[in-house]
Amino acid sequence: MDRALAGAPFELTREIGAAQYVYLGGAKGLVAMAGGNLLLDPGLDASRAERIRKVLEYTLERLPKLYGVALPGPGAVVTAVSELPGFHGDTTSGRMMRLRLPANVETMPGTMLEHFVAHEVVHWWNSGVFGTDQQRPWLHEGHAEWMARLLLREQGLLGDAELRADIESNLNNCAAARGSKVAAAMKPGRQGDDVYACGMSLMLLGQAQRSEAWRQTAPLVQMAPLHRIERGLDVQAFVEWADAGSTQAAMARLLQDSQQAFDSGLLARLKALGMADGEDVKSSEQLPPGLRMKTAGGLMSALMSSDCDGAVGFWTLPKAFRLDAALKCSSLRVGSEVAALAGVPVLTDPIAAYAAVKSACQQGQTIKVGYMSGAETAMACPKTLPALPVTQLIRLRPDALQRLGLVS
């Protein structure tokens, strides 16, 4: 099952993931809970089983109260321990959920487990109880991401410093993914978007606007009117929720104005709300880890596409990119791990790597590619030089959490 899921496209993952519910249906280890049943993989350790039970108990009690709508029947949560790193969840439109967890606990540090479970439970409401426009996945993914943080925060599992860093990282990932594209002109679906980072950024921006208009209302309570039984959540409904109580129609401008570039619009709005400022990018040290990886990936992607006749395929490891062995490239050694571009360790210092590639190409030289093992290769410069995905960073102001109503 895990082998079939590794590298599978989203639709296939859903299909195979759904089949697994049936496969595990006969297993022992059923924990009956108010509002749901938890099916434990015999390979799951007692400590993680208890953490999952606790967060399920909390969210399954909290969400019906917030929304005033209970699940139509008990939910079923199936856990599956896997040799794969990381984690994966899928929920059916009903009330079933499969949580794939890593055998190696260390690949899920901190409260990532609690966050993951809360995120998936929120989907039972945002895509199960309520209708959501599935063509715009940032709506339900962003809602699940932001709600999971608010739920963790209520349980005392997410501190100020961690939440600030997390918000800043997601805002920057979103600005990098969408860049100057016009939101109103973006194609439906997940491609060309970071549905998690952008969805969460837009949800918190909406909440900040509402906090301005509706002071004294707790963040989770402000989120609840976003979904209604009689009307599915789509972009128009989201805009109406976010702009309620304000005469500025700021969210409408950011998402529905055919002239508004997304990245500059997002930063302008954050500035206007007193939440953040822009900072010019000069060195890789300024970039949050996620964005640093993304920036490096952007350069690898541009060079690979040029060398491999438009094809791109690699996995990002901590210090290198493992190139997909199935691709055919002019000079890149596929199946190997690229660590340096134009002499610069690209994942550690992507900003310097962009500059070194640019300088080599401007001097009419080839681009040297260094690997974790084996000799260097040299590739021809692409027709157009890859540009940095981000030139301005979003930096939260010290009192940003106050603006969100998260600190009194």
Where does this chain bind Zn ion (CB under 5 A)? 141, 144
DSSP per position, 90-130: EE-SSSEEEEEEESSGGGS-TTHHHHHHHHHHHHIIIIIIS
Question: Which residue, 126 or 172, is less far from Zn ion as judged by CB?
Answer: 126
C-alpha distance from residue 8 to each of 3, 11, 91, 164, 177 (Å): 9, 8, 17, 33, 22
Q: Phi/psi zone of residue 287: left (φ > 0), alpha (ψ -120 to 50 degrees), beta?
A: beta
E strands, 181-336, where? 276-280, 314-316, 321-323
Question: Which residue, 148 or 404, is less far from Zn ion as judged by CB?
Answer: 148
| CA gap 158, 56 in Å, rounded | 17
Burial (0-12, 13-18, 19+ Cβ within 10 Å), 88: middle
In whole angstroms, the minimum distance from the beta carbon of 400 to Zn ion comes to 25
| CA gap 118, 134 in Å, rounded | 20
The two tokens of residue 197 are 């980072």
In whole angstroms, the minimum distance from the beta carbon of 123 to Zn ion comes to 6
Question: Which residue, 78 or 381, is less far from Zn ion as judged by CB?
Answer: 78
Question: Which residue, 141 or 263, is less far from Zn ion as judged by CB?
Answer: 141
Question: Which residue, 139 or 404, is less far from Zn ion as judged by CB?
Answer: 139
The two tokens of residue 329 are 């490239």
Question: Which residue, 67 or 321, is less far from Zn ion as judged by CB?
Answer: 67
In whole angstroms, the minimum distance from the beta carbon of 141 to Zn ion comes to 5
| CA gap 90, 117 in Å, rounded | 11
In whole angstroms, the minimum distance from the beta carbon of 122 to Zn ion comes to 8
Q: Are strands 88-91 and 75-82 parallel, antiparallel or unpaired?
A: unpaired
In whole angstroms, the minimum distance from the beta carbon of 119 to Zn ion comes to 6
In whole angstroms, the minimum distance from the beta carbon of 195 to Zn ion comes to 9
Question: Which residue, 54 or 88, is less far from Zn ion as judged by CB?
Answer: 88
In whole angstroms, the minimum distance from the beta carbon of 59 to Zn ion comes to 14
| CA gap 12, 24 in Å, rounded | 19
